Structure 1
Amino acid sequence: MTDHTTITVAGETPYDVVVGRGLRLDAAQYLSPSVAKVLIVHPPTLATAAEELRESLSGERQVLLAEIPDAEAGKRVEVAAFCWQIMGQADFTRTDAVIGFGGGATTDLAGFVAATWLRGVELLQIPTTVLGTVDAAVGGKTGINTAEGKNLVGAFHAPRAVLADLDALGPLPRNEVLAGFAEIAKCGFIAEPEILDLIEQDVDAVTDTDSEQFRRAVELSIAVKAEIVGEDFRESGRREFLNYGHTLGHAIEHTERYQWRHGAAVSIGMVYAAELSNLAGRLSDEAVERHRSILSSLTLPLEYPVGRWKTLLATMQRDKKARGGMLRFIVLDDIARPTVLQAPDQSLLFSAYQEIGS
Structure 2
Amino acid sequence: MPTLNINLPEKKYPILIKKGMLNHIGEEIKKIYKNKKIAIVTDNNVEKIYGQRIKEQLRNDFEIKMIVVEPGEKSKSISVLQNVYEELLDFEITRGDLIMAFGGGVVGDLTGFAAATLLRGIPFIQVPTSLLAQIDSSVGGKVAVNLPKGKNLVGNFYHPKAVFIDPELLKTLDNRFFCDGMAEIIKYGCIRDQNLFDDLLNYTKEELFEHLEKIIYTCCHIKKSIVERDELDTGERMLLNFGHTLGHAVEKHYRYEKYTHGEAVAIGMYHITKKGEAMGITEKGTKNFIKEILCKYDLPYEMPPMDQEEIIKTIGLDKKNKGQYMNMVLIKKIGESFIEKIHRKDIEVLI
Please classify the TM superposition score into its range, dividing by the shorter chain length: over 0.9
The answer for the alignment partner of 1:356 in structure 2 is none
- Spell out the pairing of 1:1-358 with structure 2 (5 A cutoff): 4-12=1-9, 13-28=11-26, 29-31=28-30, 32-48=32-48, 49-207=50-208, 211-259=209-257, 260-344=259-343, 349-353=347-351
Q: Alpha carbons of 1:327 and 1:168: their partners in 2 closer, same or farther (altered >3 Å)?
A: same
- State the distance in 1 between where 2:42 and 2:267 align: 29
Count of matched residue positions in the alignment of Structure 1 and Structure 2: 346
- State the distance in 1 between where 2:82 and 2:96 align: 20
- State the distance in 2 between where 1:267 and 1:190 align: 13
- State the distance in 1 between where 2:331 and 2:213 align: 26
Q: Is the 8 A contact 1:276 1:331 kept in 2?
A: no
Deviation of 1:294 (Å): 1.4
Q: Alpha carbons of 1:326 and 1:206: their partners in 2 closer, same or farther (altered >3 Å)?
A: farther
Identity of aligned residues (%): 28
Deviation of 1:217 (Å): 2.0
Q: Is the 8 A contact 2:326 2:344 kept in 1?
A: no
- State the distance in 2 between where 1:196 and 1:227 align: 18
Superposed CA RMSD? 1.8
Partner SS for 1:330 = strand
- State the distance in 2 between where 1:235 and 1:38 align: 30
- State the distance in 2 between where 1:221 and 1:273 align: 22
Partner SS for 1:14 = strand
**Given residue 315 of structure 1, which amino acid in structure 2 is its aligned partner?**
T
Deviations 1:144-195 (A, max 9, x none): 0011100000111111111111111001111211121000000001111121
Deviations 1:224-245 (A, max 9, x none): 1111112221112211110000
Per the normalisation by structure 1, the TM-score is 0.91
Q: Is the 8 A contact 1:244 1:330 kept in 2?
A: yes
Deviation of 1:325 (Å): 4.6
Deviations 1:191-240 (A, max 9, x none): 11121111121242354xxx322222222111111111122211122111
- State the distance in 1 between where 2:245 and 2:207 align: 27
- State the distance in 2 between where 1:7 and 1:138 align: 11
Q: Is the 8 A contact 2:102 2:108 kept in 1?
A: yes
Q: Alpha carbons of 1:172 and 1:33: their partners in 2 closer, same or farther (altered >3 Å)?
A: closer
Q: Is the 8 A contact 1:295 1:302 kept in 2?
A: yes
**Given residue 151 of structure 1, which amino acid in structure 2 is its aligned partner?**
N
- State the distance in 1 between where 2:120 and 2:177 align: 34
- State the distance in 2 between where 1:350 and 1:214 align: 39
Q: Is the 8 A contact 2:101 2:126 kept in 1?
A: yes
Per the normalisation by structure 2, the TM-score is 0.93
Partner SS for 1:319 = coil
Deviation of 1:306 (Å): 4.6
Partner SS for 2:160 = coil
- State the distance in 2 between where 1:331 and 1:206 align: 30
Q: Alpha carbons of 1:346 and 1:307: their partners in 2 closer, same or farther (altered >3 Å)?
A: farther
Q: Is the 8 A contact 1:144 1:154 kept in 2?
A: yes
- State the distance in 2 between where 1:307 and 1:330 align: 21
Q: Is the 8 A contact 1:321 1:327 kept in 2?
A: yes
- State the distance in 2 between where 1:79 and 1:72 align: 11
- State the distance in 1 between where 2:39 and 2:324 align: 39
